[in-house]
Amino acid sequence: MAYDPVVSEPAAKRGTQRTAMIVDCDTGIDDSLALLYAVASPDCDLVAVTCTAGNVDARQVAENTRAVLELAGRSDVEVAIGRETPLARKLITTPETHGPRGIGYAELPAARMPLSSRFGPDLIVEEARRRPGELTLVTLAPLTNVALAVLREPELPRLLRRVVIMGGSYRSAGNTAPTTEWNVNVDPEAARIVFEAFGDEGSNRGPDRPSALPTALGLDVTERARFLPEHLARLAALAGCAPDGSMGGGPSGSSGGRSKGGGAAAGSAINAIVRYLADALRFYMEFHSRYDGFYGAFIHDPLALATALDPTLVRTEAVTVDVELAGRLTTGETVADWRRVWGRPPNVDVAVEAEIDRFFDRFVERVGALAAGRT
C-alpha cells in the first residue's frame, strides 16, 4: 500500500497558525520524543517523516518511527525511508546510547502502517515543489537525505520556508570525538553540502522569510536540555498515572505498580505513552549516568523541533560555518568563524542561548496531555 500525497488546507483557512513540517530523523530515543512533541503540538502540521541511518540502521529507523507515530495515534502521517548509508563513509550506529533497536528498554508493537513508496529525498523535493514557501524542514539526523534532496533540486533552499538543524558543536566539546557532534560526524560530507547550499547569501530570502539562513542547534544549547526523573514525574502526573505508566488499579485507586517481572501488576491499566517514555529514557539516563556524570538525558531533538515551532526559544548569531572532512583528529568538526577572519558571509544562524525552562514546561504539558488523551 502506498501513500498518495494529500493537499492540506492552508493554516489561515483553518483559523489557527500551524507550521507545516517535514521531519528528517534517525529515530532513536530523543528523535522519538521529538515526534511525540510534534504530534502533541496544536501548532504543528506534521506533513511527513523521512528516515535515514544514524542511531540505528535505516530500516530500524523506519520501524521505530512508524511504531511511535502509531503509539501517538498518528498512523496517517506518511513515513518514507531514504538513503541507508552515508554519502562517502561506512555507517556507524550507536547501540550503546540508544539500545540495539534504538528505543532503549522500550518495546512497541510492530508497526502496522505502510511505509511510503516514495524515496525520502524525493519526498522532500516533491512536497517543497508542491507547497513552495510553506514547509519547514526539521533535521534530527545525519544530513544524508537533505544533501541528496538539494543535489536533486538546487532550488530547494528557495522552496522551503525554513530549515532547522539539530547538529554540530560550535563553541563546546563534541560528543563523538573531542570536537565533533554525532549527526555531523556520521556524514560530514552531507553536512558540508547542506551548509553550503542552504547558506548561500539570500538564497532563501523572500517577503515571508526575513532570515535566509538555516538555524542550527548544536551541543552548545542542546546539552543544556537535561531531562530528569522529575520531568517524567510531572508529565506522568498530567497523564494521571505513575512515572512507570501504571494507572489506578488498587483498592483505593492507588497505582498498581510493577510486578517483580517488570510488567504491570495484575489488574492495573497502563498508560502506553508514559510507559514508553519511562522504558526508553531509563536506558538513555543510564548511559548519561555512566558517561556524563548525571542521571538524566540530553534531549537534543525535541529542543530543535520545539524551536522550529517557536523560534523565540533560542537566540542565534549568524556565523560562517564549514565542516572539516580531512582532519586527522577533527574530521566532522563544525568550524565556526566567530571572529570573521575568513571574510565570507554567514551561512548559518547558530543557536547560542535557549530558554530551557520554558521548553521543558511546554514539553511536559503537551506530551502529558497527549498521553492523557491516549488512555
Tens-place pLDDT, residues 131-157: 999 999 999 999 999 999 999 999 999
Q: Which CATH number characterizes residue 79's domain?
A: 3.90.245.10
Q: Are residues 87 and 211 in the same domain?
A: yes
39 inside domain: yes
Sort 229 into a burial class: Cβ within 10 Å, 0-12 / 13-18 / 19+: middle
CA separation for the pair 185, 77 (Å, rounded): 29
pTM metric for this prediction? 0.90
The strand pairing partners of 138, in sequence order, are 23, 164
Q: What is the pLDDT of residue 9?
A: 39
Cell of 82: 531514504
Tally of CB atoms within 10 A around 285: 21
Q: What are phi and psi of 251, to 5 degrees?
A: -65, -25
Strands 19-25 and 314-323: unpaired
Number of domains in the chain: 2
Determine the angle formed by the axes of helices 144-152 and 188-198, rounding to 10 degrees.
50
What separation in angstroms does the CA of 182 have from each of 55, 94, 96, 265? 9, 9, 13, 39
Q: Give the residue from 249, 248, 316, 244 showing the smallest Cα distance to 282.
A: 244
Q: What is the pLDDT of residue 347?
A: 96
Helix (H, G, I), strand (E, B) or coil at 62: helix
Q: Are residues 111 and 252 in the same domain?
A: no
Cell of 258: 510493577
Q: Which of 291, 323, 342 is the last residue of a domain?
A: 291
Q: Are residues 113 and 181 in the same domain?
A: yes
Tally of CB atoms within 10 A around 106: 23
158 inside domain: yes
Q: What is the pLDDT of residue 247?
A: 81
Q: Give the residue from 275, 298, 278, 264 showing the smallest Cα distance to 229.
A: 278
First-to-last C-alpha distance (Å) of the chain: 29
Q: Are 37 and 302 in contact (CB under 8 A)?
A: yes
Q: Give the residue from 191, 215, 204, 156 showing the smallest Cα distance to 348.
A: 215
Q: Are residues 234 and 359 in the same domain?
A: no
CA separation for the pair 198, 214 (Å, rounded): 7
Sort 13 into a burial class: Cβ within 10 Å, 0-12 / 13-18 / 19+: exposed
pLDDT of the chain along its 375 residues, tens only? Answer: 333 333 333 333 444 689 999 999 999 999 999 999 999 999 999 999 999 999 999 999 999 999 999 999 999 999 999 999 999 999 999 999 999 999 999 999 999 999 999 999 999 999 999 999 999 999 999 999 999 999 999 999 999 999 999 999 999 999 999 999 999 999 999 999 999 998 864 444 444 544 579 999 999 999 999 999 999 999 999 999 999 999 864 333 333 334 333 444 444 589 999 999 999 999 999 999 999 999 999 999 999 999 999 999 999 999 999 999 999 999 999 999 999 999 999 999 999 999 999 999 999 999 999 999 986
* Angle made by CA atoms 294, 300, 305, in degrees to the nearest 5: 150
Q: How many CA atoms lie within 13 A of 269 on its CB side?
A: 11
Q: Are residues 350 and 241 in the same domain?
A: no
CA separation for the pair 138, 153 (Å, rounded): 18
Q: Name every residue whose Cβ is closer than 8 Å to that of residue 279 and which is 6 or more positions away in sequence.
A: 103, 104, 105, 106, 107
66 inside domain: yes
Tens-place pLDDT, residues 252-296: 333 333 433 344 444 458 999 999 999 999 999 999 999 999 999
CA separation for the pair 177, 183 (Å, rounded): 12
| Residue numbers of the domain that contains 345 | 18-226+298-373
CA separation for the pair 261, 278 (Å, rounded): 16
Q: Are 339 and 206 in contact (CB under 8 A)?
A: no
* Residue length of the chain: 375
Q: Are residues 231 and 219 in the same domain?
A: no
Tally of CB atoms within 10 A around 101: 18
Helix (H, G, I), strand (E, B) or coil at 86: coil
What separation in angstroms does the CA of 118 have from each of 59, 115, 291? 14, 9, 39
User: Hey, which residues are catalytic here?
Assistant: 300
Q: Which of 273, 291, 309 is the last residue of a domain?
A: 291
Q: Name every residue whose Cβ is closer than 8 Å to that of residue 337 and which is 6 or more positions away in sequence.
A: 319, 320, 321, 322, 344
Q: Are residues 67 and 162 in the same domain?
A: yes
2 inside domain: no
> Residue 334 carries which DSSP code?
E
61 inside domain: yes
Q: Which of 239, 272, 291 is the last residue of a domain?
A: 291
Q: Are residues 189 and 235 in the same domain?
A: no
